[in-house]
C-alpha cells in the first residue's frame, strides 16, 4: 500500500526489446524524486513490496520491477547478465522520467546491487545508492574458468541442435547454504515457488555473469554517495566483496556490517534495521 493507503500502480516499460513489469508506490513528498528497489539473482520484485510500501509511507515514491527473465517480465528465464540488468535499470529510470521523476535513489540486493553500481557509474540522474551484499569481483579459479568455457560451448551446441537453452539446476546446491540467520526467513525464501523455479533452470552460458564478475572499474567512476550494507554471517556472498567495494569507492560512502544477518538482509532478523538505514540514507541525499 502507498502512503495514501492506495494499492501500488502496475506499470510496464520496454527494455532491450523486452517488456518489463513493475509496481509504483506513490508518495506526496519529494516530487520529482523516486527510489528504485532492485531484486537479486533468481528473485523477483514482490519480495520488495514491504520495503517499497514503507518507503512510500516515509514520503519517497518507490518503484519495484522485475529484471529481464524474472518475475512477470519477459526474457530468457533466470537470465542473470550484468550489462542487460544495467540497461533494464536505465530504462526503468527513463520510464519514471517520462512520469516527471528526475532524480533517483537506487537500492539493490545481491546482483541487483551490482546493477545499481554499473548504472551509477554513468548516469548523473542518480542522487545516491544503497547496496546490500553486492558482488563486485568474483574471479573463479582456473579449473572453474575452464568448466565455464566448456559449458559455454555445450550451451551453444545444445541451442543450435535443439533450439532451446541448456539449463542447470542450482536449487539443491544453494539450498545447502544458509541464506538467513533466522531459520524462518531462510525457509520462507527457499520455499518461494518463483525462486525455486528460477533456480531449477539457470541458462548456460547466458547466466555466467553471475559466476564470473568484475565491475571494479565501474565502481571507481561512481560520484554519487553510496551506502554499503552486508551481513557478517553471509554464506553466499563473502563480506569481503563489500569491503572491496567500499575500498574502491572514491566519493562519499559508508559501510555497515550487520552482525546478526546473513545474505538476504531484507528477510533476515535485521530487516527493520536495514530498512531504517536505507530510509535515512535516501532522505539525506534524495
pLDDT, tens only, 250-280 = 999 999 999 999 999 999 999 999 999 999 9
The three-class DSSP label of residue 175 is helix
pLDDT, tens only, 217-227 = 999 999 999 99
* pLDDT confidence band for 154 (50 / 70 / 90): low
Find all residues with CB under 8 Å of 240, minimum gap 6, and list them.
none
Helix (H) or strand (E) holding 73: none
Domains and CATH numbers, the chain: 9-140+213-285 (3.40.50.1820)
pLDDT, tens only, 38-60 = 999 999 999 999 999 999 999 99
pLDDT, tens only, 2-14 = 445 678 999 999 9
Q: How long a stretch of residues is the chain?
A: 286
The predicted pLDDT at position 1 comes to 47
Amino acid at each position: 500500500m502507498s502512503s495514501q493507503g492506495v494499492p501500488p500502480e502496475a506499470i510496464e516499460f520496454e527494455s532491450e526489446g523486452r517488456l518489463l513489469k513493475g509496481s509504483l508506490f506513490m508518495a506526496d513528498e519529494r516530487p520529482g524524486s523516486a527510489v528504485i528497489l532492485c531484486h537479486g539473482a533468481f528473485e523477483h520484485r514482490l519480495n520488495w513490496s514491504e520495503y517499497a510500501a514503507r518507503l512510500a509511507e516515509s514520503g519517497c515514491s518507490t518503484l519495484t520491477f522485475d529484471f529481464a527473465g524474472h518475475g512477470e517480465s519477459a526474457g530468457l528465464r533466470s537470465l542473470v547478465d550484468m550489462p542487460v540488468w544495467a540497461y533494464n535499470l536505465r530504462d526503468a529510470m527513463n520510464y519514471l522520467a517520462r512520469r516527471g521523476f528526475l532524480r533517483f535513489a537506487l537500492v539493490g540486493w545481491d546482483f541487483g546491487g551490482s546493477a545499481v553500481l554499473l548504472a551509477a557509474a554513468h548516469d548523473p540522474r542518480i542522487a545516491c545508492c544503497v547496496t546490500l551484499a553486492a558482488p563486485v569481483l568474483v574471479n573463479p579459479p582456473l579449473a572453474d574458468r575452464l568448466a565455464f568455457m566448456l559449458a559455454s560451448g555445450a550451451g551453444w551446441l545444445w541451442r543450435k541442435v535443439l533450439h532451446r537453452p541448456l539449463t542447470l539446476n542450482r536449487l539443491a546446491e544453494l539450498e545447502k547454504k544458509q541464506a538467513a540467520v533466522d531459520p524462518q526467513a531462510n525457509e520462507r525464501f527457499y520455499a518461494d515457488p518463483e525462486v525455486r523455479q528460477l533456480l531449477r533452470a539457470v541458462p548456460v552460458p547466458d547466466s555466467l555473469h553471475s559466476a564470473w564478475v568484475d565491475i571494479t572499474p565501474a565502481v571507481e567512476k561512481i560520484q554519487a554517495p553510496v551506502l554499503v550494507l552486508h551481513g557478517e554471517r553471509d554464506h553466499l556472498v563473502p563480506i569481503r566483496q563489500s569491503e572491496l567495494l567500499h575500498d574502491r569507492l572514491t566519493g562519499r560512502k559508508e559501510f555497515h556490517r550487520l552482525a546478526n544477518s546473513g545474505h538476504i538482509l531484507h528477510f533476515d532478523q535485521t530487516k527493520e534495521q536495514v530498512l531504517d538505514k536505507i530510509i535515512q540514507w535516501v532522505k539525506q541525499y534524495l
